[in-house]
Structures are given as C-alpha cells and as structure tokens.
Amino acid sequence: MADFKLMRQLAKSDGGKIILLVLDGLGGLPMGEYTETTLEYANTPVMDDLAQEGCLGLSHPIARGITPGSGPAHLALFGYDPVGTPVGRGVLSALGIGFDLKPEDVAARGNFCSVDARGYITDRRAGRIDSDVALPLVEKLDQINIPGVETFVRQVKEYRFMLALRAEGLNGALDDTDPQVTGKPPLPATALEPDAERTAEFVRAWLAEAQRVLQNDHPANMVTLRGFGQDPILPKFHEVYKLNAACVAVYPMYKGVSRLVGMDVLETGSHFTPSDEFKVVAEHWDDYDFFFVHIKPTDSRGEDGDFNAKASVIESVDQALPKLLALKPDVLLITGDHSTPAKLRSHSWHPVPTLLSAPASHLRDSAKRFGEREAQRGGLGHFMAQDLMPLALAHALRLEKYGA
C-alpha cells in the first residue's frame, strides 16, 4: 500500500463521509486488582452499542512486537508505510506549531533540560517548566546568530521547543543529542552520513551558544535536540484517496502529521475536551469528506500509569460521542495509534482494539462491547494499521472495483 498504487487507481471523489476517531494509546492491559483492561473496565455504553451493531478487530501499527512512536503510528493509520516513510519528530513539531518549514530546512525537536556544574544532565525536562517560564528562554535562543545559517526557535509547549535551520545544502541526517538518561552530558551533534557534516557543525555551534545564553537559567540551563529531519514531501490525502480531509486535534504533533498528509487543520483551543473537539467536527461537517479526530489524554494517563484516569478519559469520549453520531457519518472508526498500558507506563506493541461502524456495509460480529478481548474475536481479525484507510474508503463506498 506504500506507493498507494491501488488507492490512486480506485479512489473516487464521491461517496460517504468518514470519521477516524483516534484515542491515543487506547489499548491496554489489566493492572493490579483490575482483571480487565482500561477500555474493558471503562463504562462506555455508547461504544458498546456501536460494538454490538458493528464489528471489531485488532490493529497492528508497524509489525508484531514493534512499539511505535506517535509519528510512525499515525502515518500507518493514515495508510503510509511507517518504516519506509521516516519523518523526524522535529519536522512533525515544526508542522504542528504551524511553522512554515521550507523543503530544505532541517528541523529538530528541542527540550530544555537541567545540567549540573559539570554539564551533566540532572533533569531531562528541566522540571517540566511551564510555557510561561519557557517563552522568554525560547526567545533568547531565537536570537542566536550562527554565520552561514539562519536559525529559528519556536515554543512548542512547556519545556519543548522546535529548532529549524535554513541554508542551502543542509542535510538532516543527524543523531539525537539527548542521551535519554540523566547523569550524562548531552551528546555532541553527530552527522550520520558525510553529507550531513556541515549541518552538524552548524548545530554544534548553535548548541555552544545555547549553553552560553542559558547558563544562569537553571532549571532550564541547557537543551537537548532530537528527531532531526527534513520535510519528506509525502503524497497528500486528496491525491491518493480523493478525500477532502480535516484534522481536529489539540496537541501540535498530531496537527503536524495531519498537515504532512494534506489535511486541513481546524482550529482548536489547547484545553479542548473531547466534547469540544466533536463540536468542531459538527461545525465543519459540510466542508469535508473525512475527519481525523485525535484525543490525546488516553495516552498521557496511560504513560502516567493511572489506570482510572485513563478510564475516565475514555468515558468522557463515550459521553460526548452522541455529538458525532448525530452527524450520521457513513463510516466511524474508533481506534488508537498504539497501545499505552497504564501497567507499562509507556507505549507498547500490543495490537489496538478497533471499532468499525458503517451501517450500510459492515458485517456485524458477535462482539457485545468494545474491548481488547472482544476485539480478539472480532470480525475484522488482526490487521495492519496501514490497511485501515482502504477499509474506511471501502465502507464509505469510495473505491471502484479492481479489475474487470
């Protein structure tokens, strides 16, 4: 599916409307006293009704056993080869904050961190400083001048920022400077191929300046950079799927990956609830064929290891769902980009429970409610996340027959 050969050939510009509702990190595991997963445990009467009427399955984001980051996981959900389409987190961050990244720019994701007198990292997130505290530091970094290259620093959120470099002939094949552990100094910027050596030199010069200008700003007295990369210039949703697509997401990262595949990113506020997000869908219902709706806190609460808080997020989505259902989408898919079991406090490789509701064409299976174990026996079986878009288009009757 990676080259979209079949999709380009078969997709029609008319047909039903599709909602892809992604609860980030939806899949989970039982934990402690709970014998159910979070999704099974959560009280979700609306989703359970949809599961009874529709069908379930398990989505594998990348391959068996592979735990994805958010970028590749979303590319897969959107039908792109997540391994053959490497998009750096820097690029996603840049697009997520609406930075006008040029094709030759190199972007990286930056974190403020705390270092001790020897320059060893003591806190990889600088005590998770607030955006208010970070903003003047971001502005200081944006003032850094390195001969031969333009540099841009933009705030993402809290301790996170984006660095972009602009000059001719840059190459983003650079290794992360984040050592991923405390007790070590940030790594030097290192080229992963000879062509990137000049870019690495610029970054080293910039890092030296960053260290100098931040030296008195403890806890945010140093930075790490990761996910260097350049815009991979992907084929767009309207080209490959003939879909006029919109993204409703709160967190910049997901807006970024949506822009990358050609979606319009609809305006949201940073404290939007699922209900608020669904309202945005309703307001733009007539303008698009396809809505990607992203719910972040399922993942965040999973990473916190908070089983109950994750369940509450799922319940809040369930309570708001009637807003989406009132729009009568022809296809509603509810899934996750990956699993984030509270038990593991991290993303995981477990396949993701997925619900398909397309009353005109789905085949109801025996599921009684929405959950991992029901999905194991679901009518969609195990499938690759990359196959979800063709499935959605098919159920929206937006694909021609292949061959005569």
Where do contacts with a copy of itself occur on this chain (CB under 8 A)? 1, 5-6, 10, 29-30, 37, 58, 62-73, 82-83, 86, 88-89, 92, 109, 226-227, 341, 343-344, 346-350, 361, 363-366, 372-373, 376-379, 381-383, 387, 389-395, 399-404
Distances (CA, A) of 232 to 87, 113, 235: 7, 29, 9
Strand order across the beta sheet in which 264-265 lies: 264-265, 245-248, 290-295, 18-23, 331-335, 352-357, 55-60, 381-384
Q: Measured from the CB atom, is 219 or 390 closer to a copy of itself?
A: 390
Using CA atoms, how far apart are residues 165 and 230, in angstroms rounded to an integer? 10
What stretches of 231-306 show up as alpha helix (H) in DSSP? 237-240, 252-260, 274-283, 297-303
Smallest distance from a copy of itself to CB 117, Å = 30
Q: Measured from the CB atom, is 214 or 367 closer to a copy of itself?
A: 367
Smallest distance from a copy of itself to CB 359, Å = 11
Q: Is the peptide bond before 390 cis (omega within 30 degrees of 0)?
A: no
Q: Measured from the CB atom, is 56 or 320 closer to a copy of itself?
A: 56
DSSP state of 106: E
Q: Measured from the CB atom, is 10 or 167 closer to a copy of itself?
A: 10
> Which residues, including other chains, have CB under 8 Å from residue 16's CB and lie 6 or more apart?
329, 330, 331, 358, 360, 395, 396, 397, 398
Q: Measured from the CB atom, is 10 or 46 closer to a copy of itself?
A: 10
Smallest distance from a copy of itself to CB 235, Å = 18
Q: Measured from the CB atom, is 145 or 180 closer to a copy of itself?
A: 180
Smallest distance from a copy of itself to CB 25, Å = 12
Smallest distance from a copy of itself to CB 365, Å = 6
Q: Measured from the CB atom, is 196 or 344 closer to a copy of itself?
A: 344
> Which residues, including other chains, have CB under 8 Å from residue 2's CB and lie 6 or more apart?
80, 81, 84, 85, 386
Smallest distance from a copy of itself to CB 62, Å = 6
Smallest distance from a copy of itself to CB 74, Å = 10
Smallest distance from a copy of itself to CB 299, Å = 13
Phi, psi of 333 (to 5 degrees): -110, 130
369 three-class SS? coil
Smallest distance from a copy of itself to CB 35, Å = 8
Q: Measured from the CB atom, is 198 or 232 closer to a copy of itself?
A: 232
DSSP state of 158: T
Nearest partner of 17 among 293, 250, 258, judged by Cα: 293
The answer to whether 162 and 138 are in contact (CB under 8 A) is no
218 three-class SS? coil
Q: Measured from the CB atom, is 39 or 126 closer to a copy of itself?
A: 39
Using CA atoms, how far apart are residues 68 and 306, in angstroms rounded to an integer? 21
